[in-house]
Amino acid sequence: MNGSLNQKPTMNSISRILVLLLLSGTGLTQPQTMAQIHTTSTAALDQREQRIVTISAATARGDMPGLKSALTAGLDAGLTVNEIKEMLVQLYAYCGFPRSLNALGTFMELVDERGGKDAVGPLPGPLPAGKSVDFGTANQTRLVGAPVKGAVLDFAPAIDEYLKAHLFGDIFARDILDWRTREIVTIAALSAMDGVESQLKSHVAIGKHNGLSDAQIEAIIALVRPVPVQTSAFPVGAENSGYAQYFSGRSYLAPLTTDERLKVPLSNVTFEPGCRNNWHKHTGGQLLIVVGGVGYYQERGKPARRLVPGDVVEIPPDTDHWHGAAPDSWFSHLATVGSPDTNKNTWLEPVSDADYRAATGGK
């Protein structure tokens, strides 16, 4: 959206910076009490703003169950029907008509389900007189703080015209949402999408130019991408993206040993609240040593076992099981497999929400 179209910091680098910022701010480098494990960094946003973030992120991801829950919370927090409609309309410019239309459909059904109890609120006022490309160009310059130029915009002048006339003219000139709020919507949506790091970086700058503080921008990104919490003295490591397809929720992996001659490949695995792995089995069996938070272990056909630091789980070879966090706590265990030279893991179906709720006490 501005002159930094060619800069491409990786999402990991942004996340790492945020992790460092947030961890240095909260001192989460030593074993924490349970109260501290629940610490969040989202307090810089008020409740209404937090709902705007979760609605925008769920729309961008196409997560309809998550969106319905976020929309319900947004209406309960006092957002009007017309304000939410405007957010979902604006989002088509950032994540496409399909995501926007699906979100509007979900919202329409929800408003109907709630039986008309929600405040509709005012409609936007009329657009300024004149051509949208003219007031849109002026809006874009004020929003960004300088005239916007870029090689891509010269390469494809049509996109420059549509950005000015339509996005910053027709949409941003509608007065039902102020620009600060519109930037919360945009930063949340971009934070939820892959491969748009340069646009996110631009909008972080635009958000600051329009009244968002560093703490508020960090809070938006933390809400959309939970920052891992270190629950023990062991490192959290990187997001466990290599195994993400076998997990529900986010997990993090920190290998702790390197010498293969020892035949003890040991890692610290950290699960965000609600995260668990699929049903699976190991031909060599597995040993878990719980080091932080609260979690669960379950073998097929048996009650789940609640786990706290100090617990040890010996998982027999070829036994279907899953392990993961409690719904309301981060969780970390050290893990190693038996017979690592020959061990094979077989990944099975995800643990359904219903089975997870039953296993963890219905919370």
Per CB under 5 A, residues contacting Mn ion are: 286
**3-state secondary structure string, 71-105?**
HHHHHHCCCCHHHHHHHHHHCHHHHCHHHHHHHHH
CB of 323 to Mn ion, least distance (A): 6
CB of 294 to Mn ion, least distance (A): 18
CB of 238 to Mn ion, least distance (A): 20
Helix (H/G/I), strand (E/B), else coil: 259 = coil
Q: Which residue in 313, 354, 362 sits closest to 335, CA to CA? A: 313
Between 131 and 302, name the residue whose CB sits nearer to Mn ion. 302
CB of 322 to Mn ion, least distance (A): 7
Q: What is the Cα 238 distance to its own chain's centre?
A: 15
Between 286 and 332, name the residue whose CB sits nearer to Mn ion. 286
CB of 280 to Mn ion, least distance (A): 6
What secondary structure letter does DSSP report for 160? H
What are the residue ranges of helices labelled H in the chain? 11-26, 34-37, 47-61, 64-76, 81-90, 92-95, 97-113, 132-144, 151-155, 157-162, 179-192, 197-209, 214-224, 353-359
Query: What is the number of the residue whose Cβ is closest to Mn ion?
Result: 286
Between 230 and 286, name the residue whose CB sits nearer to Mn ion. 286
Between 285 and 309, name the residue whose CB sits nearer to Mn ion. 285
Is residue 283 a contact partner of residue 344, using CB atoms and an 8 Å limit? yes
Between 51 and 281, name the residue whose CB sits nearer to Mn ion. 281
Between 47 and 346, name the residue whose CB sits nearer to Mn ion. 346
Is residue 164 a contact partner of residue 131, using CB atoms and an 8 Å limit? no
Question: What are the Cα distances from residue 190, in Å, to 23, 59, 161?
Answer: 23, 11, 22
CB of 355 to Mn ion, least distance (A): 16
CB of 276 to Mn ion, least distance (A): 11
Q: Which residue in 103, 98, 94, 112 sits closest to 67, CA to CA? A: 103
Between 228 and 284, name the residue whose CB sits nearer to Mn ion. 284
